[in-house]
């Protein structure tokens, strides 16, 4: 039988699979439709193409170098990242997406019963990865203002994860708050900055003062390279060396390394796309607010739009039948919201138009 994920599920009598894995519900990614004829605003991809220099770099690798293994140390990407982010190359690790880097950090730091704390709702992969290590997730609910919950400060945890900006809220806490958190923390603070290029400030400067902070960056969102799978961990050299020991030797493909290096070389291209996304974000925010949604001001390339108390599942489905994909989370505390990626100006206009139409119909007459 095919499950929602498209993978085969068969009833099994055998017990060779670890209990932690048997019981894992598994991270559920957003839908990746086969058709190109949809307006895809459900997984926070960039609506604009990557730099032409990136395409050329991939083409060059594809035409001449696929026979060879990639550089296991990713020297070129690390050198560029170090120069760009003003750190030492020994403080940088390249991963097969920042998801891999999250998994490596959990593998390095979390064993049976190890406590990992984070505020929820957030990126649900954290919970999956902690469960896989048989660690204990300490989940502290955000309040309505999306400030970092007080219980996170001084939490008895080996690892604290801060999603900065957070998903699905799109909110970012001040870096001074993350600094205070890290100064009080007894363990490692992981700052997941997958969306930070769309935000006002990064936690990277904290690395100069603190040796218990690691920052994760992704090429998937701001650099328009979700299909490539590349991310960076930037942190204390000792941690980076440990992660390097446990990673697959050839964890990032030759094409991905070439793409990441070229993307860092053409930073202006990314920044241009980010400016456009941020401009459209204002328009999306205003449009959704005008339609009666409660929208949290966003620092990311998506917004979370709520109709408090209403299940947005049906509206999500109606949009889907109109060829517009947005993200709906079935969890009780998120059910009344839609997470909507900032698309192009045209896509955003089409979304707002469809919503106005659908919600107009849904409203009781007179």
Ligand X SMILES: *Cc1c(COP(=O)(O)O)cnc(C)c1O
Residues 149-188, one symbol each (x = binds ligand X by CB under 6 A, - = not), give: --------------x---x---------------------
Q: At its nearest, how many Å lie between ligand X and the CB of residue 99? A: 3
Most distant CA atoms of the chain, gap in Å: 69
Between residues 91 and 218, which has the closer beta carbon with respect to ligand X? Answer: 218
Is 42 near ligand X (CB under 6 A)? Answer: no
Between residues 117 and 194, which has the closer beta carbon with respect to ligand X? Answer: 194
Between residues 163 and 324, which has the closer beta carbon with respect to ligand X? Answer: 163
Q: At its nearest, how many Å lie between ligand X and the CB of residue 207? A: 19
Between residues 33 and 292, which has the closer beta carbon with respect to ligand X? Answer: 33
Per CB under 6 A, the list member of 42, 46, 137, 218 interacting with ligand X is: 218
Per CB under 6 A, the list member of 39, 81, 99, 172 interacting with ligand X is: 99
Residues 185-214 that bind ligand X (CB under 6 A): 192, 194
Between residues 98 and 253, which has the closer beta carbon with respect to ligand X? Answer: 98
Residues 45-74 that bind ligand X (CB under 6 A): none
Between residues 98 and 296, which has the closer beta carbon with respect to ligand X? Answer: 98
Q: At its nearest, how many Å lie between ligand X and the CB of residue 86? A: 21
Q: Which residue is nearest to ligand X (CB)?
A: 97
Between residues 123 and 355, which has the closer beta carbon with respect to ligand X? Answer: 123
Per-residue DSSP letter, 156 = S
Between residues 77 and 226, which has the closer beta carbon with respect to ligand X? Answer: 226
Could you tell me which residues come within 8 angstroms of residue 114 by beta carbon, excluding any fewer than 6 positions away?
A: 133, 135, 136, 158, 159
Task: Count Cβ atoms below 10 Å from residue 337 Cβ, excluding itself.
Answer: 26
Residue 217: in which H helix or E strand, if any?
A: strand 213-218
Q: Whole-angstrom Cα distance, residue 220 to residue 260?
A: 10
Beta-carbon-side half-sphere exposure of residue 148 (alpha carbons within 13 Å):
24
User: Using CB under 6 A, which of the segments 95-103, 107-115, 250-258, 261-269 binds ligand X?
Assistant: 95-103
Q: At its nearest, how many Å lie between ligand X and the CB of residue 19? A: 27
| Geometric angle at alpha carbon 193, from 192 and 195, rounded to 5° | 130
Is 251 near ligand X (CB under 6 A)? Answer: no
Q: Whole-angstrom Cα distance, residue 120 to residue 335?
A: 14
User: Using CB under 6 A, which of the segments 48-56, 93-101, 148-156, 174-182 binds ligand X?
Assistant: 93-101
Q: CA 92 → CA 137, 219, 253, 276, distances in Å?
A: 27, 14, 17, 29
Size of the site for ligand X (CB under 6 A): 12
Is 133 near ligand X (CB under 6 A)? Answer: no
Q: Whole-angstrom Cα distance, residue 80 to residue 55?
A: 18
Peptide bond preceding 63 in cis form (omega within 30 of 0): no
Q: Whole-angstrom Cα distance, residue 32 to residue 29?
A: 8
Residue 127: in which H helix or E strand, if any?
A: helix 125-132
* Burial of 145 (C-beta count, 10 Å sphere; 0-12/13-18/19+): exposed
Is 273 near ligand X (CB under 6 A)? Answer: no
| Contact in structure between 54 and 207 (CB atoms under 8 Å) | no
Is 123 near ligand X (CB under 6 A)? Answer: yes
Peptide bond preceding 4 in cis form (omega within 30 of 0): no
Residues 274-303 that bind ligand X (CB under 6 A): none
Phi-psi region of 97 (alpha: psi -120 to 50; beta: other; left: phi over 0): left
Residues of this chain that interact with ligand X (CB under 6 A) are: 97-99, 123, 163, 167, 192, 194, 218, 220, 226, 231
């Amino acid at each position: 039988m095919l499950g929602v994920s498209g993978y085969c599920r068969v009833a099994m009598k055998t017990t060779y699979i670890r209990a932690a894995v048997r019981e894992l519900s598994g991270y559920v990614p957003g839908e990746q439709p086969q058709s190109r004829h949809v307006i895809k605003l459900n997984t926070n991809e960039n609506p604009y193409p990557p730099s032409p220099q990136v395409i050329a770099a991939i083409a060059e690798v594809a035409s001449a170098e696929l026979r060879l293994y990639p550089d296991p140390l990713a020297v070129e990407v690390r050198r560029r990242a170090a120069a760009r982010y003003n750190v030492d190359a020994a403080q940088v690790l390249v991963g097969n997406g920042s998801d891999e880097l999250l998994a490596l950090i959990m593998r390095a730091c979390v064993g049976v019963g190890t406590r990992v704390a984070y505020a929820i709702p957030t990126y649900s992969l954290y919970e999956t990865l902690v469960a896989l290590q048989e660690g204990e997730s300490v989940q502290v609910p955000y309040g309505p203002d999306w400030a970092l919950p007080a219980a996170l400060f001084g939490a008895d945890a080996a690892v604290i994860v801060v999603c900065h900006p957070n998903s699905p809220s799109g909110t970012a806490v001040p870096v001074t708050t993350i600094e205070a958190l890290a100064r009080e923390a007894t363990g490692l603070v992981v700052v997941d900055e997958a969306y930070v290029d769309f935000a006002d400030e990064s936690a990277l400067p904290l690395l100069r003062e603190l040796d218990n902070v690691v920052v994760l960056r992704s090429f998937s969102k701001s650099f328009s390279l979700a299909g490539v799978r590349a991310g960076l961990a930037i942190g204390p050299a000792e941690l980076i060396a440990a992660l390097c020991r446990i990673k697959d030797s050839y964890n990032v493909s030759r094409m991905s390394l070439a793409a990441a290096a070229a993307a860092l070389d053409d930073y202006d291209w990314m920044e241009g796309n980010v400016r456009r996304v941020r401009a459209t974000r204002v328009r999306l925010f205003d449009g959704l607010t005008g339609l009666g949604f409660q929208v949290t001001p966003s620092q990311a390339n998506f917004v979370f739009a709520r109709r408090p108390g209403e299940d947005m599942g049906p509206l999500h489905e109606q949009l889907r039948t109109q060829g517009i994909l947005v993200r709906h989370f079935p969890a009780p505390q998120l059910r009344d919201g839609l997470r909507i990626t900032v698309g192009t100006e045209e896509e955003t206009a089409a979304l707002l138009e469809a919503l106005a139409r659908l919600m107009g119909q849904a409203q009781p007459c007179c």
